[in-house]
């Protein structure tokens, strides 16, 4: 556990159990020992073709943990409730979940259900997100907020107005000044009194990677001048009472409470000014930004860590709003946050398999003997060889390496010229490898090939270099024998992970054992990764299982299991028609070989199976009979 700093980034949800496996503590600190869920047992269960109705899911696999999701929501709410209570704050906290972080139906439905007792709502940033938020919230608490952010056209605004007609507590947040005319016109046309919010562009700027949308030059929000124009226009059309919410977003992964306090304090002043100007303000929506400690370093200096707890975050926000409002004698507003990353990151674990590892090839010994090589070498190369031998005799190892490099480069040049044969080049390679090995200059870091697409499953690593904790989910009672980087299945040199938490360029890893399987988990990736992931090389998403704590013998129950997209699914996304493709191949087989032969029939059956299987490597027998459920 120490080697991977599991207690640092994983507490209170992940720890190592007595079997040396990674286990989940679904209720965080309140989890009892018998309630812990062993991740390896989940993998074994869901990939066993004899269990789960013969489904035998193929890896990679996302394990969703709704109990963890519930615990995150409750912890966030409790942190704010505590801050409100202890500071004598005059209103409550009522959060929303920004669905862009993970739009999975079951994640959103769970959040609405778990959050219903404390009016937890949803935030949408596009029309499809609004549609899903509207339908999910119909089953939620009517007081829950439905915050409509993002670029809006007439269709988006009409939908949001319809949502108000459906008695959903909908707020249309103006991100652009131009949206106001549409809201005024459409609300008149549809006879709906809208509730309007304004997104303010703050001067406070978060300097890390995730802060590029903040500050005066940020992509979103209204400047002070624009806010004043909106207020005037609303006054002219007798709709200033509709303006009730102020929103801002400093950026994701806010590193410190100092920056948070600065931003919230600035926004609270704008809020007070809006009250002074006559708006019927009710809510201050502080956006997202509550950070996750991906590396467990608790540092406010890094993009992937944060130097505060949930409690620190909540108390900073409540204090900043309270102080500003008290100074201006303004009634305390309801505090809303749009925390996404902090709610969903922990609840999902991506599990994948290392299928092979590069091995150090024993230096090739030339079948023709060293003498033959040396004799066949041109004069300059032979001189390098002799210098190399002399340095070795004198025990000057650095010099040996220098001559070995020189010899190799010279021989490569001569091979390119056509003046050196392949046998000699191979023998020189072998000689140089031998020198490196003897001197201990062989790179000890091995490449582990993983049955995964980084572009599909960890896109933020590729896109913005974001680092996630990656750990073997078993054998944690054995010291890893070496170190490795992870290389994925795509034909792309970017498809590798060579940066890990703690600033490491390799990961401690175990030896792959015979036909034993070696499973790794990528943690804290429940936010953003699934929706951003692409189809590079046509690798689709992982299989997904939903696992709840249960008091049965295994301490968990698989309540849902869905295989990842098959080859035909991903082909369809690119407009191919798998049925027609298969017919084309079948006709060709009939033309080329005896279509009725046993071999032809078997080949076509295998081809049909490939269309139905996931694009990932078939490891073991688990994935032979993929049949989709539901």
| 10 makes contact with ligand PLP (CB under 6 A) | no
136-171 as b/e: b if 16+ CB within 10 A: bbeebbeebbbbbbbebeeebbbbbbebbeeebbbb
End-to-end CA, the chain: 38
Q: Which residue's Cβ lies closest to ligand PLP?
A: 288
**Catalytic residue check, 607:** no
Q: Which is nearer to ligand PLP, 250 or 450 (CB)?
A: 250
When binding is defined by CB under 6 A, the residue of 340, 459, 469, 563 that contacts ligand PLP is: 340
Does 346 interact with ligand PLP (rule: CB under 6 A)? no
Q: Exposure pattern of 584-622 as b/e (b: 16+ CB <10 Å)?
A: eeeeebeeeeeeeeeebeeebeeeebebbbbbbbeeeeb
- Asked if residue 72 binds ligand PLP (CB under 6 A), the reply is no
Q: CA separation (Å) from 294 to 303, 346, 466?
A: 9, 10, 9
Report angle CA 454, 460, 465 to the nearest 5 degrees. Answer: 100
When asked if residue 205 is in the footprint of ligand PLP (CB under 6 A), the reply is no
Name the catalytic one among 432, 491, 567, 624: 491
Residue 623's closest CA among 48, 214, 200, 52? 48
Contact by Cβ (8 Å): 314, 93: yes
Q: Give kind and range of the element (H or E) at residue 432.
A: helix 422-439
Lookup result for tokens 């082909």: 571
Quick one: which of 47, 77, 102, 149 contacts ligand PLP (CB under 6 A)? Answer: 149
Q: How far apart are CA 402 and CA 603, in angstroms?
A: 54
Q: Minimal CA–CA distance to 401: which of 436, 450, 360?
A: 436
Shortest gap between Cβ of 285 and ligand PLP (angstroms)?
9
- Rounded to a whole number of angstroms, the minimum distance from the CB of residue 149 to ligand PLP is 5
Q: Does 95 bind ligand PLP (CB under 6 A)?
A: no
Q: Does 290 bind ligand PLP (CB under 6 A)?
A: yes
**Residue span binding ligand PLP (CB under 6 A) among the ranges 281-289, 315-323, 440-448, 487-495:** 281-289
Query: Could you say whether residue 173 binds ligand PLP (CB under 6 A)?
Result: no
Contact status: 265 vs ligand PLP (CB under 6 A): no
334-336, strands of its sheet edge to edge: 96-98, 121-124, 145-148, 169-174, 196-199, 243-247, 283-285, 334-336
Asked if 315 interacts with ligand PLP (CB under 6 A), we say no
Please state, as a whole number, how many other Cβ atoms lie within 10 Å of the Cβ of residue 264: 28
Question: Segment near ligand PLP (CB under 6 A), from 112-120, 338-346, 446-454, 544-552?
Answer: 338-346
Of the candidates 523, 529, 537, the residue with the CA atom closest to the CA atom of residue 462: 529
Q: Could you say whether residue 566 binds ligand PLP (CB under 6 A)? A: no
Answer yes or no whether residue 527 interacts with ligand PLP by CB under 6 A. Answer: yes
Comparing CB distances to ligand PLP, the nearer of 72 and 249 is 249
Q: Does 339 contact ligand PLP by CB under 6 A? A: yes
Q: CA-CA distances (angstroms) from residue 602 to 566, 578, 590, 595, 624?
A: 20, 19, 13, 10, 14
The piece of 9-17, 61-69, 319-327, 339-347 that touches ligand PLP (CB under 6 A) is: 339-347
Distance separating alpha carbons of residues 171 and 164, to the nearest angstrom: 8
Tell me the torsion sign for CA atoms 488, 492, 493, 494.
Answer: negative
Structure-token pair, residue 38: 């062993």
Candidates 153-161, 288-296, 346-354, 594-602: pick the segment binding ligand PLP (CB under 6 A). 288-296
Question: Reduced to 3 states, what is the DSSP secondary structure of residue 330?
Answer: coil
CB of 531 to ligand PLP, least distance (A): 12
Stretch that binds ligand PLP, among 37-45, 228-236, 286-294, 555-563 (CB under 6 A): 286-294
Residue 525 touching ligand PLP (CB under 6 A): no
Among 289, 469, 540, 615, binds ligand PLP (CB under 6 A): 289
In this chain, which of 40, 62, 63, 101 binds ligand PLP, going by CB under 6 A?
101
Token match 């946050």: residue?
A: 337
- Of 23-31, 133-141, 332-340, 358-366, the segment contacting ligand PLP by CB under 6 A is 332-340
Number of residues that bind ligand PLP (CB under 6 A): 15
The residue within the footprint of ligand PLP, chosen from 60, 98, 521, 542 (CB under 6 A), is 98
Residue numbers at the binding site for ligand PLP (CB under 6 A): 98, 101, 149, 249, 252, 287-290, 338-342, 527
Q: Where in the sequence numbering do the catalytic residues fall? A: 491
């Amino acid at each position: 556990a120490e080697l991977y700093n599991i207690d640092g980034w994983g507490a209170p949800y992940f720890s190592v159990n007595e079997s040396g496996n990674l286990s989940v503590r679904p209720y965080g600190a309140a989890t009892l020992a018998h309630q812990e869920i062993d991740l390896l047992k989940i993998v074994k269960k869901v990939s066993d073709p004899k269990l789960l109705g013969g489904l035998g899911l193929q890896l990679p696999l996302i394990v969703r943990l709704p109990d963890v999701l519930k615990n995150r929501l409750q912890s966030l709410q409790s942190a704010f409730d505590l801050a409100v209570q202890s500071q004598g704050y005059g209103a409550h906290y009522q959060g929303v979940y920004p669905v862009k972080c993970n739009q999975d139906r079951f994640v959103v439905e769970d959040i609405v259900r778990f959050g219903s007792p404390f009016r937890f709502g949803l935030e949408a940033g596009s029309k499809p997100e609004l549609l899903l938020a509207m339908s999910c919230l119909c089953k939620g608490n009517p007081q829950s907020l439905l915050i409509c952010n993002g670029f809006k056209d007439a269709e988006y605004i009409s939908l949001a107005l319809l949502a108000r007609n459906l008695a959903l507590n909908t707020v249309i947040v103006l991100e652009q000044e131009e949206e106001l005319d549409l809201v005024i016109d459409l609300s008149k046309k549809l006879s709906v009194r809208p509730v309007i919010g304004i997104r303010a562009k703050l001067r406070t700027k978060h300097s890390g990677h995730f802060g590029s949308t903040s500050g005066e030059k940020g992509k979103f929000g209204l400047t002070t001048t624009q806010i004043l124009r909106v207020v005037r226009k609303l006054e002219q059309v007798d709709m200033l009472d509709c303006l009730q919410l102020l929103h801002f977003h400093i950026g994701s992964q806010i590193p410190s409470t100092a920056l948070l306090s600065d931003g919230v304090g600035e926004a609270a002043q704008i809020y007070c000014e809006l009250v002074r100007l006559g708006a019927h303000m009710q809510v201050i929506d502080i956006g997202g930004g509550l950070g996750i400690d991906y590396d467990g370093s608790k540092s406010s200096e890094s993009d992937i860590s944060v130097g505060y707890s949930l409690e620190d975050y909540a108390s900073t926000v409540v204090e900043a709003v309270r102080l500003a409002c008290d100074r201006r004698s303004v009634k305390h507003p309801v505090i809303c946050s749009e925390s996404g990353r902090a709610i969903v990151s922990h609840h999902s674990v991506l599990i994948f398999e290392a299928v092979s590892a590069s091995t150090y090839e024993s230096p090739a010994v030339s079948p023709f003997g060293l003498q033959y090589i040396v004799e066949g070498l041109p004069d300059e190369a032979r001189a390098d060889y002799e210098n190399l031998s002399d340095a070795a005799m004198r025990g000057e190892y650095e010099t040996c390496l220098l001559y070995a490099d020189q010899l190799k480069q010279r021989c490569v040049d001569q091979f390119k010229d056509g003046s050196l044969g392949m046998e000699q080049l191979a023998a020189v390679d072998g000689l140089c490898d031998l020198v490196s090995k003897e001197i201990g200059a062989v790179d000890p870091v091995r490449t582990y090939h993983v049955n995964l697409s980084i572009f599909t499953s960890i896109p933020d690593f590729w896109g913005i270099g974001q680092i996630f904790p990656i750990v073997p989910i078993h054998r944690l009672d054995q010291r890893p024998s070496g170190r490795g980087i992870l290389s994925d299945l795509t034909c792309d040199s970017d498809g590798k992970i060579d940066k890990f938490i703690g600033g490491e360029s390799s990961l401690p890893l175990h030896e792959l054992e015979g036909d034993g399987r070696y499973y790794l988990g990528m943690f804290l990736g429940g936010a953003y990764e699934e929706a951003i992931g692409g189809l590079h090389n046509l690798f689709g998403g992982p299989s997904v299982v939903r696992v709840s704590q249960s008091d049965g013998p295994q301490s968990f129950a698989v309540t849902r299991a869905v295989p990842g997209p098959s080859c035909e699914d991903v082909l369809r996304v690119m407009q191919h028609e798998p049925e027609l493709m298969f017919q084309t191949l079948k006709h060709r087989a009939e033309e080329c070989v005896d279509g009725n032969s046993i071999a032809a029939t078997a080949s076509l059956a295998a081809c049909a199976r490939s269309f139905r299987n996931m694009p990932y490597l078939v490891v073991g027998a688990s994935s032979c009979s993929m049949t989709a459920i539901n």
